[in-house]
Structure 1
Amino acid sequence: MWGIQLPQLLMPHISHVIFLSSIADLSVIGQKLLIMKKIILLFAALCPLAALAQGGHFVLKANVSGLKKPVTAYLYYFESGKSRLDSVKSATGNFEFSGDISGICSGRLTLDHTGVGLFKLGAKRDALPVLLEKGEIKVSAVDSISKGIFTGSAINDQNGLYLKTMSSTDKAIDALIAKSEAATPEQRKDQQFQKTMHLGFKSLAAEQEALQLKFITQHPDFYISYLTLVDVAGPIIDVDKIEPLYNKLSPNIRNSREALEFGKLIAMAKVTAVGTMAPDFTQNDTNDQPVKLSDFRGKYVLLDFWASWCGPCRAENPNVVKAYHQFKAKNFTVLSVSLDQPGKKDAWLAAIKADGLEWTQVSDLKFWNNAAAKQYGIRAIPQNFLIDPTGKIIGKNLTGEDLNKKLKEIFGS
């Protein structure tokens, strides 16, 4: 499981994978599932899609009937990578926003029924995802903007259809979140309870992905389908699963600027697919001496990308240490590449010592711009590649018991 992720093509992606270190985190991941289902498309279009929609002036008109007192509406949206916030107060339930945009932009329309202000409303705020595009967009609702219905906007119609498609998992996710949040301290410590919650969220995540894949297949000409595909792909692209869906997107979608960039990421993922030769590289070790990946030819090597600041990486390190000591006498070793930041060599060295990482460690201390990480298309850590003595990649992202099982297949127990 990957816990730290490089900001995606379009934004820090809504489907950040959350490291499960406690039952409290299970509640968080449940919330993540719910948020991803309901507002993934709110955040996914941080960069305007100029190829699909020309920029210009937008007007958003909202009518919410049944309000019993003056209410403030907030429109929070992203334009050219910058966030913008507008507000309108109304006693009639009519709210109008306008502005200039360079293409399709994502936003959220929120009603503050209590007068506490946008940033104090909490997680259960009354909000509606909206995709802003040139022209007039209308939304009508009764009592709550979250129940709003759009008219006059094709992109929001697509979004609405997507949300409707995903709604079948709503009740199950809500129930599981409620169960996790209502757990007593004793339950939170109970391993069986933790296991039940984890498996429940995992099952719902799989169900959710199946619905997403079906939506993409059924609507290849939707911009929303492209955003959904990016979400399903996540930071570590499964080429066999993602590329066929990408190729089925309509030419109008696939040839957009963003989709073309995503295509490059798919191509990069092919370079480090299982069965390919691991790209060679050279970086300095902890003593500032150059080390080549090809120096390890003749051995099985776990090429491990991590960083001292990465909690999930540090949590996975004991598994790597265990594997190293169990199989190092059988022609196996580890080569770790750290994505530590410039000027943070001391933190890198301290983490190596604290975690007992006895194998070769290299880094150029360039954070996400680490040359080897870029060469391997690394956009999330921890991430690893198992390389055979000939230099061929024979496994990817093997953690915990999966790593141990793979090494036993090679060397025996």
Structure 2
Amino acid sequence: MKKIFFYIAAFVPALSMAQTAQPFTIDAKIGKLNTPAKAFLAYRVGGTNITDSATISNGAFKFSGTVAEPANATLFIDYKGVGFAKYVQQNFPDGGPSKTADALTFFVEKGTINIAGADSAKKAVVTGSPVNDDNKKLITLLKPVNDKAQKLMAENKAATDVQKQSADFQNAMQAKFKVLQDEQKNVLRAFIKANPNSYMSLLALGSLGGPSPNPAEIEPVFNSLAQNIQETNLGKSLKSSLTVLKGVSVGSIAPDFTQADVDGKDVSLSSFKGKYVLLDFWASWCGPCRMENPNVVKAYNKYKDKNFTVLGVSLDNENGKSAWLAAIKKDGLTWTQVSDLRYWNNEVAQLYAVQSIPQNFLIDPTGRIIARDLRGADLEAKLLELFGKI
């Protein structure tokens, strides 16, 4: 919620380049810069990362290239002329920009795009581009929600360690964030409805779905988009991914799998048939997962004698087994845990189209998925509905 995140790239496969590439030109003017300052443009076409450079003369520089459809890009200004690799190393040490970084994120698309800034790239204005114009509209519409989210994150950050380990505190914070997420979804739905011909609506649809999209929610909105938007590479990929996601949606039979537990013994999901199973994806390195664990522990201890259990699937890596085992012990996770220690390439995570954690699926005794993404109070409410008060 800190920024507007478009999750669409997280759950669609690498885009094919079936569409014809169209030329683009970027005419830029940033102050009165000259050599050794240099400009770099980084963007992605299909599965290829592209980095281009341009010399700067009296603040002016130009880029050109081709894209089949709009692509997210970043413009960097290297004031000292140290080169792209060293510039990124110095200004993006943790993946995010440092105070010294001067970068502008925008979209490249066919046609001529103008960028003008009085003294820096990050404060520059982008004109002449329909997709960037629509992006500005959406950012403005989402600003009230994002402002509230930043305040809420500050509140969470200021909490004591005791509060952060408290299930009640985490449930309260989850409830507040859920309100904001619902607000965000309402803004996104309204934007998409008002702009069915905009490529930005396709990107907004990814944010509407979030990191674990629900096909029943997303598909009708996708179908409301203009036909030419649906038939873009990104649109076709999204449609294909929705078909995959339907296989692990509520109402579907949970795909069976076998994976090794902490002792190296193979465990199958089907061996739990006849019980309610919370299939819980997490990892020792995942902060939100560790914060959610007290809720799962509370639910397990309360309902474990009611034909309910938890099966944990860890996305730890091959060098993280000791951290995985330590986290299990520290967090009191006494249920069965499995992992192939392949990080995001975990076979079960891929089978269930898991692109973010924590994430879970509640499976009934017949093996059917009856709920998913139950966190905090939502997990307690669903189990209470199933088992009644204890």
TM-score category of the 2 structures, normalised to the smaller one? 0.7 to 0.9
What are the ranges of 5 or more consecutive residues in structure 1 without an aligned counterpart?
A: 1-28
> Displacement of 1:242 after TM fit?
0.7
After superposition, give the CA deviation of every residue in 1:273-305 in whole Å (9 maximum; x if it has no partner).
222222222222223322221211221111112
Q: Is the 8 A contact 1:265 1:377 kept in 2?
A: no
Pick from 292, 311, 322 the counterpart of residue 316 of structure 1: 292
CA contact (8 A) 2:276 2:365 kept: yes
**1:247 is aligned to 2:223:** yes
Q: What is residue 44 of structure 2 aligned with on the other side?
A: 79
1:61 aligns with 27
| SS of alignment partner, residue 62 of structure 1 | strand
In structure 2, the gaps of 5 or more residues are 92-96, 164-168
Residues 111-163 of structure 1 deviation map (CA, whole Å, 9 limit, x = unaligned)? 68999988658469775443223553334566676452522xxxx21321232
Aligned length: 366
- Seen in structure 2, the aligned counterparts of structure 1 residues 135 and 172 have a Cα distance that, compared at 3 Å, is closer
Task: Tell me what 2:256 maps to.
Answer: 280
Report the AA paired with residue 266 of structure 2.
P
CA shift for structure 1 position 362 = 1.9
8 A contact 1:76–1:86 mirrored in 2: yes
The TM-score, its normalising length taken from structure 2, stands at: 0.77
Matching residue within 117, 131, 135 for 1:162: 135
| Change beyond 3 A, Cα 1:122–1:79 | same
Equivalent pair of 1:384/1:397 in contact (CA under 8 Å) = yes
The reply to whether residue 224 of structure 1 matches residue 189 of structure 2 is: no
Distance in 2, matches of 1:289 and 1:166, equals 50
Aligned counterpart, 1:11: none
Q: Deviations over 1:301-337 (max 9, x none)?
A: 1111222222222222222222212111121111122
| 1:367 and 2:343 are equivalent in the alignment | yes
- Residue type at the aligned position of 2:373: N
- The residue aligned with 2:61 is 95
| RMSD of Structure 2 on Structure 1 (CA) | 4.0
Shift of 1:247: 1.7
Secondary structure of residue in 2 paired with 1:288: coil
Q: Which moved more, 1:305-314 or 1:101-110?
A: 101-110
**Distance change >3 Å, CA 196–CA 405, structure 1 → 2:** closer
SS in 2 for 1:329: coil
* 1:106 counterpart = 2:79: no
> How far apart are the structure 2 equivalents of 1:202 and 1:391?
28
Question: In the TM superposition, what are the counterparts of 1:10-159 in structure 2 within 5 Å?
Answer: 29=1, 32-33=2-3, 36=4, 50-51=17-18, 54-55=20-21, 57-63=23-29, 67=31, 74-80=39-45, 81-82=48-49, 84=51, 86-91=53-58, 93-99=59-65, 104-109=70-75, 122=98, 128-140=104-116, 146=123, 148-151=125-128, 156-159=129-132
CA distance in 1, matches of 2:334, 2:153: 39
Mapped to 2, the partners of 1:349 and 1:391 lie a distance apart of 28
Distance 2:56 2:146 in 1: 34
Give the letter for the 1:378 counterpart: V
> Structure 1's 77 and 49: CA in aligned 2 closer, same or farther, altered over 3 A?
farther
